[in-house]
């Protein structure tokens, strides 16, 4: 049923009975295939069968590519045979479509019957006749297929620029000229062997990567065009996204679907090149059979693009079109209908309101902000009345709706007392299901005044907080005109973040709110493109905290992340924080893998500025700056101090210096624990060398434990990390066994510890300074001849820079940037990597450090018992015996020896495959990179359409040089529901998690499915209780029947028991007839 019609430019007709990959050339008849068309796209227009003319007029192709041709024959019988064969093939195509439609209906009926078959519950719960009988008419419902044009690779070039053609022609002329000169010298050359200049110029250089294309794809069902993608300009490897029309929904009746698909053997994808001034060129087409369309499940599949015209040379890389297809779900149909309805109006931020909470500013400009109240008191000492004045402030942003009169005006003490109360309005945000993170923004102190430009003495900073966590961004209420704002319990200050990974970071930014309607702010936005002024930011590392603990934390606020930004803080922010996991063991086990990179999309530019500053800080490390370049180098050079610490540690182990304090008999003794451990391993390796490999694994965990012990010597709990034993207790028992809470310490001890640490650092820096000073003195005394005496003397004349070198310098306005900017980008990646490694090694990322230490210890124990000497000895024996035996001759004949009967083309192909195998890993890596690139671009387009075009990356690692730590006034306590209460969710902000390909599911859909599952579980639970009650009733009925055959006394007991059972079954109620009859009975 798969046929094609072909014509050549030499003969009159050609017919190919089957579809082939490459165009056919018949050496017997000298027919060359010129065009290729599916039989369904052909139609006999007219038959001319007279004495003089024997030809058939045929219309081929579809759409604008259709044209008419006359096929000539020698006799009338040839014409009749051709027409009869054509009609037979068309009839077979129609019959195939009918068979496929019948099979489809039968399959759908089987599915419908299976879905409506009686189940265990339906035996007890009677169903209506409409529900019990399958609706066979539904099998002819609309067939919906979701199609995605993913990408294309190695498309042929259709557009050639003038400069490229001139370059190729010039190269060919130069090569041919040199060949002609050689041929004139060599008399053995004949005239016929001389190359033709005109022929070489006219040749189409297919093997050279010249030119480009502007491809787009047309999807056709028969002669009907159902979709057309947008043009991807100047690209031979295009990737289509949602914005460029990659998605298409095919909807039609089952009969129409199989009739058209049967006639045309599936869907046709025509790849074309867009031309502005000429007719669009056809680069090739892809036909997907009906069975493949119905069997597709959304996987990415590649199909070779078959050109409509034969190519003179076989292309080096086969052009491929990648597609995804699947049966469309209800969610897919709703999305496509919604997208087609609004895509011309807007292309971004359709569902931004469900995933982003903007700052809320409650403005009441005409109300008084402060007032003074007089209080009259009886003074017993003076035997009279005294009057006191109290200054009250209007509560911001608004009073408590439940206590308006009480909370509208308050003094400073009352505001402070209300601030520390438990929040009443919580906002749930995010899309995780691992646990909950509870955050309350209480207040700020000593903020800078950023509204001085308004020239008003009463106008001050209008502060609000922006919080970014994983895949969601939220903002608090705006507290206007104060440098020490306090957020009330009923205001928007409390958030419940759904956690996806325990090691995710919480980013907090403080801003001064500015209205977009102010003329001053409009002028400011034109000059700086920022609406809200930045006060400062804080990054909170949750890995330093433990679950089920209420932390009241006060952080210093810094403007940026560089050292110059941290010379002076810009106030403090106080918050209350707590997190809990559904399953602590599962949460800790999830930290074995790093979380995926989270991206948050925003629709407005000012919102993007808020989130970007929150997550990435003030400085853009990707933008070119000489200061950034030098900072990267200086930071990498600063890590050479690690070598000094390593040398000190080795000297401590080698010289048995005491470091671990142990109290014995009232005296503190320093025990060299590491030296003892090293000596035991040394003895073990001396007598059993197999233990060396185990020691290598153990050394990693040993070093991590030593660093953990050193970090925990700090008396401040905010500088400490969780101990290794505590993390093990969380992994095994789900909780830590400790009576004393770690977040209480003496500030004096911490100051003494830090003074001692700073003294050690200063002494080390002084030693290094003296060493450098003595080095210079010695070199000065010895002279340069003593240091450079062994260098070779170069007596060659050096080239002088003339006019050409001076012109090269002036050719670029900023040549340093062109050279150093790519190096800066790579240096930035190295700096980020070193910061991540530093965070793990110093136990700032305690979860990852725990797993590295545990894996090292387990590997050491596993490797310790392996007989490495025996393994290496036998491995060497096997290599020598098997690899050098006489049977290697057979291996040579089978795999390595070249076959003598190969043609030059076959030999060339063998060498090509052999070279290709060398780059197998590179080809596979390139394929994975291409798939990842497609996924990222499509995700960007989808997130841009759903949530906004401005995308912010939320880091999940500590990528900053400085760490934000709480101030000493911070404290914590164990969480108790009676004291701290349970949060009441007032609003839900969904996360931006997308799952799946083609049309991914939003977090809203996951929430709806979770609700349905929970309600179904509750409903099924009640139904199972009902069924259980019914089964108990049936058992009692059978017992009553047996008891009726027994004596009267026993029958009386059985009857009483049956009645008692009925009374104790409140879920069972009968209406009109017995429930067991299965007709009118109803279970409630």
Measure Cα distances from 931 to 638, 740, 926, 928, 1001 in Å.
39, 52, 9, 5, 20
Q: Summarize pLDDT for 66-115 with one digit per residue, the tens.
A: 778 888 888 888 888 888 888 888 888 777 777 777 777 777 777 776 66
Highest mean pLDDT among 44-58, 273-287, 785-799, 1026-1040: 273-287
**Interstrand relation of 472-475 and 356-357 (parallel, antiparallel or unpaired):** parallel
The pLDDT value recorded for residue 123 is: 40
How high is the pLDDT of residue 271? 93
For the record, the structure tokens of 977 come out as 């529901």
- Both tokens of 118, joined, read 């009686």
Around Cβ 997, how many Cβ atoms within 10 Å? 17
Q: How confident is the model at residue 390 (pLDDT cuts 50, 70, 90)?
A: confident
In the numeric block, which tokens belong to residue 1025?
Answer: 């209780």
In this prediction, residues 784-791 reach a mean pLDDT of 53
Residue predicted with more confidence, 311 or 139: 311
| pLDDT > 70 fraction of the chain, expressed in percent and rounded | 73
How many alpha carbons fall within 13 Å on the CB side of residue 666?
0
Q: How far apart are CA 237 and CA 212, in angstroms?
A: 10
C-alpha span between 613 and 76 (Å, rounded): 83
Own/partner long-range contacts of 658-665 (Cβ < 8 Å, ≥24 apart): 660/709
For 575, the enclosing helix (H) or strand (E) is strand 572-581
Of 610-624, 792-806, 909-923, give the range with the top mean pLDDT: 610-624
pLDDT of residue 218: 93
Given pLDDT bands bounded at 50, 70 and 90, which one contains residue 1075? very low
Neighbours of 178 (CB within 10 A): 10
Please indicate, yes or no, whether the overall pTM of this predicted structure exceeds 0.85: no
- The pLDDT confidence band at residue 173, using thresholds 50, 70 and 90, is low
Query: Which residue, chain included where needed, has tokens 């390796």?
Result: 685
**Stronger pLDDT, 1004 or 1056, i.e. the higher one:** 1004
Within 13 A of 1028's CA, how many CA atoms are on the CB side? Answer: 10
d(CA 981, CA 423): 9
> What is the structure's pLDDT at 323?
94
Other Cβ atoms within 10 Å of 514 Cβ, number = 21
DSSP state of 116: T
If you search the block for the tokens 């700096």, which residue do you land on? 831
Predicted pLDDT at 1048: 40
Least trusted range by pLDDT, from 119-133, 276-290, 561-575, 726-740: 119-133
Q: What is the pLDDT of residue 122?
A: 40
User: pLDDT grade, residue 1058 (50/70/90)?
Assistant: very low
Name which residue leads in pLDDT, 519 or 436.
436
* Band of residue 1059 on the pLDDT scale cut at 50, 70, 90: very low
Going from the C-alpha of 120 to that of each of 252, 853, 1018, 1070, the distances in angstroms are 37, 52, 18, 20
245-298 tens-digit pLDDT: 999 998 888 777 777 665 666 788 999 999 888 888 888 889 888 888 888 888
Partner residues linked to 439 by β-bridges: 495, 577
- The residue length of the chain stands at 1084
Token pair, residue 262, equals 């049967």
- Could you report the per-residue pLDDT of 753-765, keeping only the tens digit for each? 788 888 887 888 8
Phi then psi for residue 776, to 5 deg, are -65, -40
Predicted local distance difference test score (pLDDT) of residue 35: 67
Label residue 120 by pLDDT band (50, 70, 90): very low
Mean model confidence pLDDT for the chain: 77
Q: Given pLDDT bands bounded at 50, 70 and 90, which one contains residue 705?
A: very high
- What confidence score (pLDDT) does residue 667 get? 82
Which tops the pLDDT comparison, 870 or 1019?
A: 870
Structure tokens at 32: 């060359």
Q: Is the pLDDT of residue 841 over 60?
A: yes
Residue 961 pLDDT: 87
Phi, psi angle pair for 766, to nearest 5°: -65, -40
pLDDT for the residue numbered 509: 94
Pairing mode, if any, of strands 370-379 and 572-581?
unpaired
**Predicted pLDDT of residue 1051:** 35
Angstrom distance (rounded) from CA 334 to CA 351: 14
Angstrom distance (rounded) from CA 27 to CA 605? 67
- Enumerate residues 6+ apart whose C-beta is below 8 A from 699: 856
Q: 3-state DSSP: the chain helix, strand, coil percent, rounded to 5?
A: 45, 20, 35
Place of tokens 């879905």: 115
Q: Does 728 score more than 70 pLDDT?
A: yes
Q: Which residue has the higher pLDDT, 370 or 591?
A: 591
Q: Which residue has the higher pLDDT, 847 or 665?
A: 847
Environment class of 417 (CB within 10 Å of its CB; exposed 0-12, middle 13-18, buried 19+):
exposed
Q: Judge whether residue 426 has pLDDT over 80.
A: yes
Q: Both tokens of residue 735? A: 């909780």
Kindly tell me if the per-residue pLDDT of 365 is higher than 90: no
Q: ∠ CA 835-838-840 to the nearest 5 degrees?
A: 115
Q: How many CB atoms lie within 10 A of CB 714?
A: 17
Instruction: Say what percent of the chain tops pLDDT 90.
Output: 22
**Gap between the Cα atoms of 332 and 337, Å rounded:** 9
601 or 624: which leads in pLDDT? 601
Rounded Cα distance between 873 and 37, Å, is 66
Q: Tokens standing for 491?
A: 């205001």
pLDDT score at 204 = 44
In Å, what is the CA distance from 959 to each residue of 542, 829, 963?
14, 10, 10
Report pLDDT for 15: 36
Residues 999 and 471: their CA atoms lie apart, in Å, by: 19
- 572 pLDDT above the threshold of 50: yes
pLDDT higher at 34 or 665: 665
Pair 271, 295: CB distance under 8 Å: no
- What is the Cα–Cα distance from 253 to 406, expressed in whole angstroms? 67
d(CA 225, CA 1002): 31
What pLDDT is stored for residue 13 in this prediction?
35
| pLDDT at position 1077 over 80 | no
Token look-up 């089987």 returns 110
Instruction: State in Å, rounded, how far the first CA of the chain is from the last one.
Output: 59
Looking at the predicted structure, is the pLDDT value of residue 20 above 50? no
Chain centroid, CA 730 distance in Å: 29
Q: Which of 125-139, 418-432, 614-628, 730-744 has the lowest mean pLDDT?
A: 125-139
- pLDDT attached to residue 1011: 67
Classified as helix, coil or strand, 934 is helix
Name the CA radius of gyration of the chain, rounded. Answer: 40
Instruction: Work out the angle at residue 687's Cα, subtended by the Cα atoms of residues 683 and 692, and round it to the nearest 5 degrees.
Output: 75
- E strands of 370-418, at which residues? 370-379, 384-394, 409-410
Backbone phi, psi, residue 601, to 5°: -100, 140
Q: Which of 47-56, 486-495, 968-977 has the lowest mean pLDDT?
A: 47-56
pLDDT above 70: residue 822: yes
Mean pLDDT value across residues 628-648:
85
Is the backbone of residue 296 left (phi > 0), alpha (psi -120 to 50) or beta?
beta
């Amino acid at each position: 049923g798969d046929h094609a019609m072909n014509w050549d430019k030499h003969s009159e007709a050609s017919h190919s009975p089957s579809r082939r990959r490459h165009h056919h050339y018949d050496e017997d008849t000298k027919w060359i295939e010129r065009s290729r068309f599916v039989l369904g796209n052909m139609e006999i227009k007219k038959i001319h069968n007279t004495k003089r003319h024997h030809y058939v007029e045929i219309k081929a192709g579809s759409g604008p590519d259709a044209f008419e041709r006359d096929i000539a024959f020698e006799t009338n019988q040839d014409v009749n045979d051709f027409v009869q064969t054509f009609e037979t093939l068309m009839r077979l195509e129609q019959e195939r479509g009918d068979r496929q439609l019948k099979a489809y209906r039968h399959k759908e009926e089987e599915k419908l019957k299976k879905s409506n078959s009686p189940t265990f519950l339906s035996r007890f719960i009677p169903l209506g006749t409409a529900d019990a009988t399958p609706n066979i008419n539904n099998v002819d419902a609309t067939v919906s297929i979701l199609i995605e044009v993913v990408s294309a690779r190695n498309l042929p070039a259709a557009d050639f620029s003038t400069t490229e053609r001139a370059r190729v022609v010039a190269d060919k002329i130069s090569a041919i000229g040199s060949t002609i000169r050689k041929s004139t010298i060599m008399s053995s050359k004949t005239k016929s062997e001389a190359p033709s200049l005109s022929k070489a110029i006219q040749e189409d250089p297919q093997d050279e990567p010249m030119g480009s294309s502007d491809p787009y794809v047309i999807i056709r069902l028969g002669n009907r065009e159902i979709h057309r993608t947008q043009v991807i300009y100047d690209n031979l490897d295009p990737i289509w996204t949602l914005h460029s029309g990659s998605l298409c929904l095919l909807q039609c009746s089952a009969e129409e679907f199989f009739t058209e698909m049967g006639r045309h053997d599936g869907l046709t994808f025509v790849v074309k090149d867009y031309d502005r001034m000429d007719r669009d060129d056809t680069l090739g087409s892809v036909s997907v059979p009906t069975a493949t369309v119905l069997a597709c499940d959304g996987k990415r599949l590649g199909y070779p693009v078959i050109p409509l015209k034969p190519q003179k040379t076989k292309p080096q890389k086969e052009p491929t079109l990648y597609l995804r297809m699947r049966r469309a779900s209800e969610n897919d149909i709703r999305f496509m209908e919604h997208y087609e309805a609004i895509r011309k109006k807007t292309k971004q931020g359709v569902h931004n309101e469900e995933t982003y909470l903007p700052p809320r500013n409650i403005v009441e400009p005409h109300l008084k902000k402060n007032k003074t109240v007089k209080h009259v008191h009886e003074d017993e000492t003076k035997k009279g009345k005294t009057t006191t004045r109290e200054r009250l402030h209007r509560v911001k942003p608004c009073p408590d709706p439940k206590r308006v009169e009480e909370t509208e005006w308050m003094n400073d003490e009352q505001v402070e007392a209300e601030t520390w109360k438990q929040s009443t309005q919580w906002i749930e945000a995010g899309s995780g299901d691992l646990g909950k993170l509870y955050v309350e923004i209480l207040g700020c102190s000593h903020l800078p005044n950023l509204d001085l430009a308004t020239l008003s003495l009463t106008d001050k900073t209008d502060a609000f907080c922006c919080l970014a966590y994983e895949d969601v961004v939220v903002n608090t209420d705006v507290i206007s005109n104060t440098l020490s704002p306090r957020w009330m319990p009923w205001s928007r200050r409390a958030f419940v973040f759904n956690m996806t990974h325990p090691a995710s970071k919480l980013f907090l930014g403080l801003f001064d709110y500015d209205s977009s309607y102010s003329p001053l702010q409009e002028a400011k936005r034109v000059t700086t493109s920022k609406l809200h002024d930045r006060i400062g930011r804080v990054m909170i590392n949750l890995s330093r905290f433990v679950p089920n603990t209420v932390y009241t934390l006060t952080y210093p606020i810094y403007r940026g992340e560089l050292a110059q930004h941290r010379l002076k803080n810009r106030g403090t922010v106080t918050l209350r924080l707590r997190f809990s996991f559904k399953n602590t063991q599962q949460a800790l086990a999830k930290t074995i893998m790093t979380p995926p990179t989270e991206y948050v999309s925003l629709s407005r530019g000012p919102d993007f500025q808020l989130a970007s500053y929150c997550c990435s800080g003030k400085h853009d490390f990707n933008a070119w700056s000489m200061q950034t370049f030098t900072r990267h180098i200086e930071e990498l050079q600063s890590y050479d101090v690690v070598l000094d610490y390593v040398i000190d540690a080795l000297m401590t182990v080698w010289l048995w210096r005491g470091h671990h304090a142990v109290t014995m008999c009232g005296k503190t003794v320093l025990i060299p624990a590491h030296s003892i451990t090293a000596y035991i391993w040394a003895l073990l390796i001396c007598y059993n060398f197999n233990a060396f490999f185990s020691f290598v694994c153990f050394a990693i965990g040993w070093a991590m434990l030593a660093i953990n012990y050193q970090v925990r010597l700090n008396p401040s709990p905010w500088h400490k990390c969780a101990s290794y034993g505590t993390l093990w207790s969380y992994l095994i028992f789900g909780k830590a066994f400790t009576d004393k809470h770690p977040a209480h310490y003496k500030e004096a001890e911490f100051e003494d510890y830090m003074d001692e640490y700073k003294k050690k650092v200063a002494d080390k820096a002084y030693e290094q300074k003296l060493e450098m000073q003595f080095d210079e003195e010695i070199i000065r005394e010895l002279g340069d001849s003593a240091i450079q005496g062994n260098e070779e003397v170069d007596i060659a004349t050096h080239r002088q820079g003339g006019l050409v070198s001076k012109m090269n310098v002036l050719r670029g306005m900023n040549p340093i940037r062109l050279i150093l900017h790519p190096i800066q980008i790579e240096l930035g990646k190295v700096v980020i990597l070193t910061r991540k490694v530093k965070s793990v090694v110093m136990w700032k990322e305690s979860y990852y450090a725990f797993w590295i230490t545990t894996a090292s210890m387990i590997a050491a124990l596993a490797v310790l018992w392996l007989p490495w000497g025996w393994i290496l000895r036998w491995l060497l024996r096997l290599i020598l015996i098997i690899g050098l035996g006489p049977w290697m001759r057979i291996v040579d004949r089978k795999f390595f020896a070249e076959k003598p009967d190969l043609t030059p083309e076959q030999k060339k192909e063998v060498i090509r495959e052999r070279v290709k195998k060398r780059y197998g890993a590179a080809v596979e890596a390139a394929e994975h990179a291409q798939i990842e690139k497609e996924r990222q671009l499509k995700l960007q387009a989808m997130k841009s359409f759903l949530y906004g075009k401005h995308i912010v990356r939320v880091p999940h690692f500590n990528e900053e040089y400085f760490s934000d730590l709480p101030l000493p006034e911070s404290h914590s306590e164990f969480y108790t529901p009676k004291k701290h209460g349970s949060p009441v969710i007032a609003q839900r902000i969904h996360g931006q998690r997308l799952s799946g390909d083609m049309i991914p599911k939003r977090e809203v859909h996951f929430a709806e499915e979770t609700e349905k599952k929970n309600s179904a579980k509750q409903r099924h639970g009640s139904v199972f209780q009902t069924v259980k009650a019914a089964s108990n009733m049936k058992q009692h009925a059978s017992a009553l029947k047996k008891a009726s055959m027994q004596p009267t006394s026993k029958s009386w007991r059985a009857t009483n028991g049956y009645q008692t059972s009925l009374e104790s079954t409140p879920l069972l109620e009968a209406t009109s007839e017995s429930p067991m009859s299965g007709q009118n009975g109803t279970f409630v």
